[in-house]
Structure 1
C-alpha cells in the first residue's frame, strides 16, 4: 500500500471587499516509506525536502506586523486579518541527493536531483533501501524496498495567515498581538498561531523631533506557529508480498502517529513613514530570524536484519520488523539576516487596506484588511 501524507498549505489573500481562504496542499508521496529507511537517512531526506517550507514559513510570519510607522495614540487600536506570502528562490526548489551522504538509501534510477516541497510537480528519483540479514556490519546487504521521492507542489510560495491586534499605550508605545486558535482544515490537519510585538515612537526622544515631517519608530515582533497532521504507517505496508520479513508487533503499535511542525520567527525593524488622513506610507530596515522544527511522535516500523537468520538454516525470515520511536526530528534555520521593507495603508473611515513588501533572501508580500481607530 502506498502512503500519501498531505501537509497543509493555507493562505489568506485579502481584497477590498473581504478575504478568501485558499488552501494549497502538498503531498509528501511515500513519506511513510522514507521514515521506514534508517533514521539518519530519513531525517536527511525529509530536511532537504522541507527546507523551503520551513524557511518560507519563518519569512512569511515576519511580515504584517505593522501598516504605519506611527504607533497608535493612547487607547487607539486596530484589528487586521492578513496573510504573508514568502517567495521561494529558484535554487531552493530542488536538491542533489548525493550531497546528503546517505548510508542505507541509494539512487536506483531517475537521476540525483529531487524536488523540494516547493519544486516542480514531477516524479522524483527512485531510491532503494538496503539492510543486512547478517545484522549490523554484515557483508550480505540486500535491497529491502524502494520508493520514489515525492513530487513538488509546483507552487513557489509559502503563505501564512494571521490575525493581528494593536492597542496604543502611554509614551507613544503600541502593543501588538497575533492569534489564531487551533483550526482544523478537513482531513489535512490543523494549525494555530500566537505572537506578541511592540512599536515605540522615537520622535519624542530627539531634539526637535516633534517638528520632523515624518514618524520614526522601532518595532519588534515574535510569532510562533504550529501545524500538525496525523497519518498511518503500519508494518503491513512493508511486508506486503514479502515472505522473508518477520513481524511480531500488534497493529495497535502504530496508533498515534502524526507529524508536528513548529516555527518560531522574530524580527526587529527601524521604521520611517508619514501618516495622512487617508493614506500612510512607510519604509525601513531590520533583521529577521526563524527556526522550523518537525517531529513525528509515535512508533514507526522499519526493517533490519534478523540476527537469528544466520544461526538457523531452516529460518527463512532474513529480516524483521523493528519499531522506531519518533524517527523524524529535524530543525531548519531560516535565512536569517538583514532586510528592507516598505508598505502602505489606505484608510476609509474606520476600515483600512494595507500591503507591504520585504526584500530579503526569502522576499515576501503581505496584504491585509481590517479596522483601525486613533
Structure 2
C-alpha cells in the first residue's frame, strides 16, 4: 500500500506538522468513496483549526485608551475529544466498497490511533481489486497555532484589532498566509450600577480571521502526481467580555458564539483507479459553530504582559503568550 503525506500547516510558518499516513489505497475507491472516507478522517483537524482561529483576540475585558496599543504573541492549543478520534464506517454511504466479513467497523480519524482497523472490499469483487485496510491515525489529537494580534484604542471606547501574516513558504513543503480584523467596544458606561465600579470592565467583541495554506504531497500510488492539499478557512466570533483589572493582575472571562468554515482540497494530476474510474479532485468542506466561554488572567510587569486562559466547548483549548502594552 502506497503512502500519502498529509501535511497540515498551522497558522504561522513556525508550525509544520507532517503525518505519514498510510491512506493511499483510499483513492483506489474512486472519487465518491474516497471523499466519503476522507471527510470524517480529516474532520478533527478541520474543526480544531476553527477553534484556534477564533482564539487569542483578547487578554482583557478593558478597552485601550485613545492611541493605547498592544502587540501580543499567542499560542492556541486545542484538543480533540474522544468522540472525534473514531468514526463508524458502517454508517457511511459507500457506493463501491463495503466492510469485509468479520471486520470491525470502527475506523480511526487522523487524531486517533489504533491497531485494529476496518477492512474494506469491493462490493462486486472485480478482478484486480483487493481488500484494503483503513489508515491508522497520526496519534496527534491536538493542534497548536501561534498568532500575532495588534490592538489600538480609538475614541468612544472603541478598540480596533488586527492580525496578519504574509504568504510565507516553508521550504518545499508548502506555504501559509493569514489575516484578520476585529472590533472591541466598551459597554460598561451603558449599564447602571456597574459603570461606577472601579476595577470592573465590560465590553463586546466581534472578530474575523481568514487562513490559507497549501502543502505538497508524495506521489499517491501513481494515482495523483504533483499533488497538493490546499486549506482555506474563514472564522468569525462574537464575545461578551467581563473582567477585573488590578494593578498587576487582570482576570477576564468571555462568553460567545463562534463559527468556522474550512475547505480541504486535494489537487494534482489524477490517474485511473483499478476499477477503471478516472479520479477527480477531492474537495472536503467542514462547518463548525457553537457557544463556548473562557476564563483567563494576565500578569502585567511594566509594559510586558503574560497571559493564559482556558476555553470550555466541544473542543477544549488553552491559549497563552506574552506582549507589550501601552495604555
TM-score, normalising length from structure 1? 0.79
1:121, distance to aligned residue in structure 2 (A): 5.3
Counterpart for residue 89 of structure 1: 81
SS at 1:303's partner residue?
coil
SS at 2:48's partner residue?
helix
SS at 1:324's partner residue?
coil
**Equivalent of 1:34, from 26, 44, 56?**
26
Q: Does 1:259 align with 2:248?
A: no
**Equivalent of 1:60, from 49, 52, 64?**
52
SS at 1:153's partner residue?
coil
1:338, distance to aligned residue in structure 2 (A): 1.4
1:44, distance to aligned residue in structure 2 (A): 1.0
SS at 2:136's partner residue?
coil
Counterpart for residue 217 of structure 2: 231
SS at 2:273's partner residue?
strand
1:34, distance to aligned residue in structure 2 (A): 1.8
**Equivalent of 1:332, from 277, 280, 286?**
286
1:257, distance to aligned residue in structure 2 (A): 2.5
**Equivalent of 2:186, from 195, 201, 213?**
201
Q: Say which one has the larger Rg.
A: 1
How well do the aligned residues superpose, as a CA RMSD in angstroms?
2.6
Provide, for residues 4-34 of structure 1, a one-character-per-residue CA deviation record: whole Å limited to 9, x for no partner.
313235589xxxxxxxx56543233233x32
Counterpart for residue 50 of structure 1: 42
Provide, for residues 32-88 of structure 1, a one-character-per-residue CA deviation record: whole Å limited to 9, x for no partner.
x32332211111111110111111111122111100000111111111111211121
1:273, distance to aligned residue in structure 2 (A): 0.6
Q: Which runs of 5+ in 2 are unaligned?
A: none
The CA distance in 1 between the partners of 2:136 and 2:165, in whole Å, is 30
1:126, distance to aligned residue in structure 2 (A): 3.5
Q: Does 1:112 align with 2:105?
A: yes
Relative to 1, partners in 2 of residues 1:256 and 1:9: Cα closer, same or farther, differing over 3 Å?
closer
Provide, for residues 219-242 of structure 1, a one-character-per-residue CA deviation record: whole Å limited to 9, x for no partner.
1111122231122446x736xxxx
Q: Does 1:363 align with 2:316?
A: yes
Counterpart for residue 155 of structure 2: 170
Counterpart for residue 179 of structure 1: 164
Residue correspondences, number: 325
Relative to 1, partners in 2 of residues 1:50 and 1:130: Cα closer, same or farther, differing over 3 Å?
same
SS at 1:325's partner residue?
coil
The CA distance in 2 between the partners of 1:45 and 1:324, in whole Å, is 15
The CA distance in 2 between the partners of 1:75 and 1:42, in whole Å, is 53
**Equivalent of 2:302, from 327, 349, 372?**
349
Counterpart for residue 272 of structure 1: 242
Alpha-carbon contact 1:84-1:367 (below 8 Å) kept: yes
SS at 1:211's partner residue?
coil
TM-score, normalising length from structure 2? 0.89
Relative to 1, partners in 2 of residues 1:286 and 1:101: Cα closer, same or farther, differing over 3 Å?
same
Alpha-carbon contact 1:233-1:301 (below 8 Å) kept: no
Q: Which runs of 5+ in 1 are unaligned?
A: 13-20, 132-139, 239-253, 306-319
